[in-house]
Amino acid sequence: MIEKIKELEKLSGVLSPSAAQRANWNSRVLQYAETFRSGLDKDKAYYSSADKGKGIYDFDITEEPTELDSLIEAVEDNIDRVGINPASAGYLGYIPGGGLYPSALGDYMAAVSNKYAGIFFAAPGAVRLENMLLRWMCRLMGFPETSAGNLTSGGSIANLIAIVTAREAHGLKARDFENAVIYLSEQAHHSLQKAIRIAGMAEAHLRYIPMDGNLRLSAAELEKQIARDKEAGLIPFFINTSIGTTNTGAVDPVNSIADIAEKYGLWLHIDAAYGGFFKLVPELQDKFEGVERADSITLDPHKSLFLPFGTGAVLVKNKKALLEVHHYLADYMQDTRSENEELSPADISPELTKHFRGMRLWLPLKLFGLKAFRAALEEKVYLARYFHQEIQKVKGFEVGPEPELSVTMFRYVPENGSRSNEINKELLEELKNDGRIFLSSTSIKGVFWIRVAILIYRTHLSQVELLLQILQEKIMGLEKKK
Ligand SMILES: *Cc1c(COP(=O)(O)O)cnc(C)c1O
């Protein structure tokens, strides 16, 4: 048996590479990172490709090891240069991310030490760091010290945690679900509907409240609907509002909605996955009037703090309900109960073992300081306003509402007014083929709009000027072709 063990030890020993081997791999990966990062200025925001990364299938799992060089090449050819490039300054589609470089280093550090950040007992320092970040977010949103929060993988899980916590806080049981009512606007993010189904509440009534002319949820219509539902004997319990809808960046009138939530005793959730960190910009404070009155808020550092994908956050005032729905004591965890000075992430989230994602957030915030983030966010707002102003000067283009944050939309209307939807689809396709700037589209009441979402920290005036130039060139080409 000893012999067998020794033999296995020799074979498995390669899993602990020597210092020389580590240095070799480190420098190769760093070289990859430098090539990628320094190439970003020339790189495209979108790569059209025929095989869409199929070459990666040549690198299926095998018994024998493969050299790092060929693996990195496979990544460059089949992953990096295929599809959307969300690190590019020209990526202005959907809700961009960017991916701050120090976050990659934070991820590296977290993965090297592999601290167990789910439970206070296991990694008190790591849990303190994450809770400190969440307390900072609570202060930013005007939530009291007694609130709790969790760093999630993204806004979807944050919304799910909010829904199940509200369900618990209202004491709703399965038999109540078909009478429960949830209020949201047509512009609410689809992750909310998804969360409602995962929460087992597919039978609940979803009330899509009409919007005002600027695509914000109408508080007056909301109140009328709640009153009607109460009268009908239903159980109104949850209002979802948005600070920055994904589609158009609209900010709901949170303060007036908070009045209604208070009056009728409903849970007020703010989905601020896109817009939340614009609270850092002094000029935008009026958009956030009443945020502190919410019961829960979803934030997405991988959107408006420019982090790489995989970091969201949820803040909740009712810590007790948050714990009641997520907290669990298993026998094999009995050693972990004592000495809990801080809330453990595992007690307030569906996750147990998790990535120590606080590191990727803390490192850039500390290395750059908050004022750099404030400036970057304010710059994006001005860039969106500038685009909105300039595109109107180009003959034939019309715009959506004045951007509230950094999303704006526009479309081209041909002189005779016909084929407008088609020509805008063609325009978007032309942009995609060109690849320097990537935009996405949306439909509002059957009308096709092109969106410009400015949220990459690397996006500056030159990209907006380039976009204006490309749009004029492409539309001239399309008009000539007709
Ligand atoms: C992106 C987004 C979500 C979903 O967040 P993920 O991080 O993609 O899971 C939810 N709500 C809004 C308003 C969003 O913009």
Q: Is the pLDDT at 214 greater than 90, yes or no?
A: no
The per-residue pLDDT for 338 is 61
Give 341's pLDDT tier (boundaries 50, 70, 90): confident
Verify that 380 and 346 share a domain, yes or no: no
Q: CA-CA distance, 326 to 122, in Å (whole number)? A: 19
- Asked if residue 330 is part of any domain, the answer here is yes
- Asked if residue 363 is part of any domain, the answer here is yes
Give which of 313, 278, 352, 345 is closest to 155, Cα–Cα.
313
Distance 302 CA to ligand 1 centre (A): 10
Distance 370 CA to ligand 1 centre (A): 23
| Whole-number Cα distances in Å, 328 to 46, 48, 115, 321, 407 | 45, 48, 21, 13, 41
Q: Which position has the higher pLDDT, 186 or 331?
A: 186
Ligand 1, CB within 6 Å, residue ranges: 95, 154-156, 159, 189, 191, 242, 246, 271, 273-274, 300, 312
Verify that 49 and 145 share a domain, yes or no: no
Give which of 312, 309, 337 is closest to 149, Cα–Cα.
312
Rounded mean pLDDT of 369-382?
98
Nearest ligand 1 atom to alpha carbon 154: 7
The per-residue pLDDT for 479 is 87
Verify that 227 and 147 share a domain, yes or no: yes
- Asked if residue 94 is part of any domain, the answer here is no
Verify that 134 and 182 share a domain, yes or no: yes
Verify that 62 and 201 share a domain, yes or no: no
| Three-state secondary-structure class, residue 193 | helix
- Asked if residue 100 is part of any domain, the answer here is no
The per-residue pLDDT for 452 is 98
Exposed / middle / buried, residue 250 (Cβ in 10 Å: 0-12, 13-18, 19+): buried
Supply the residue whose CA is at minimum distance from atom 5 of ligand 1.
155
CB 142 within 8 A of CB 270: no
- Asked if residue 112 is part of any domain, the answer here is yes
Verify that 116 and 26 share a domain, yes or no: no
Domain boundary among 368, 390, 417: 368
Verify that 122 and 254 share a domain, yes or no: yes
Mutation test residue for ligand 1: of 94, 151, 153, 156, the one with most atoms within 8 Å of CB? 156
Domain boundary among 26, 50, 85: 85
| Three-state secondary-structure class, residue 455 | coil
The secondary structure of residue 388, as a DSSP letter, is H
Distance 275 CA to ligand 1 centre (A): 10
**In which domain, by residue range, is 382 found?**
370-481
Q: Is the pLDDT at 329 greater than 80, yes or no?
A: no
Supply the residue whose CA is at minimum distance from atom 3 of ligand 1.
155
Verify that 116 and 51 share a domain, yes or no: no
Verify that 337 and 385 share a domain, yes or no: no
φ, ψ for residue 449, nearest 5 deg: -120, 145
Give the orientation angle of helix 155-169 with respect to helix 190-198, to 10 degrees. 50
The per-residue pLDDT for 63 is 97
Q: Rg of the chain over CA atoms, in angstroms?
A: 25
CATH classification of the domain holding 395: 3.90.1150.10
Distance 152 CA to ligand 1 centre (A): 12
Give 339's pLDDT tier (boundaries 50, 70, 90): low
Q: Is the pLDDT at 332 greater than 80, yes or no?
A: no
The per-residue pLDDT for 42 is 84
Verify that 224 and 344 share a domain, yes or no: yes
The per-residue pLDDT for 335 is 66
CB 96 within 8 A of CB 456: yes
Please state, rounded to an integer, the average pLDDT across all residues of the chain: 95
Nearest ligand 1 atom to alpha carbon 312: 7
Q: Give the tens place of pLDDT for each residue, 271-311.
A: 999 999 999 999 999 999 999 999 999 999 999 999 999 99
In the numeric block, the tokens 């991916």 are attached to 99
For residue 31, what are its two tokens?
Answer: 């070289």
Mutation test residue for ligand 1: of 303, 305, 406, 455, the one with most atoms within 8 Å of CB? 303
Mutation test residue for ligand 1: of 150, 151, 186, 191, the one with most atoms within 8 Å of CB? 191
Domain boundary among 321, 337, 368: 368
Distance 26 CA to ligand 1 centre (A): 34
**What's the pTM value of the predicted model, to 2 decimals?**
0.96
CATH classification of the domain holding 360: 3.40.640.10
Q: How many separate domains does the chain show?
A: 3
Nearest ligand 1 atom to alpha carbon 300: 7
Q: Give the tens place of pLDDT for each residue, 129-173.
A: 999 999 999 999 999 999 999 999 999 999 999 999 999 999 999
Verify that 354 and 234 share a domain, yes or no: yes
Verify that 120 and 232 share a domain, yes or no: yes
**What region, left, alpha or beta, does residue 403 occupy, with left being phi > 0 and alpha being psi -120 to 50 degrees?**
beta
- Asked if residue 30 is part of any domain, the answer here is yes
- Asked if residue 477 is part of any domain, the answer here is yes
- Asked if residue 95 is part of any domain, the answer here is no
What letter represents residue 57's amino acid?
Y
CB 278 within 8 A of CB 377: yes
The per-residue pLDDT for 337 is 64
**DSSP H or E run through 444:** strand 440-444
Distance 184 CA to ligand 1 centre (A): 15
Mutation test residue for ligand 1: of 274, 296, 309, the one with most atoms within 8 Å of CB? 274
The per-residue pLDDT for 163 is 98
Q: Give the tens place of pLDDT for each residue, 215-266.
A: 999 999 999 999 999 999 999 999 999 999 998 999 999 999 999 999 999 9
φ, ψ for residue 395, nearest 5 deg: -55, 130
Contacts of 283 (CB under 8 A, 6+ apart): 378, 381
Q: Give the tens place of pLDDT for each residue, 54-79.
A: 999 999 999 999 999 999 999 999 99
Long-range contacts of 20-29 (CB under 8 A, 24+ apart): 25/68, 28/68, 28/69, 28/72, 29/68, 29/72
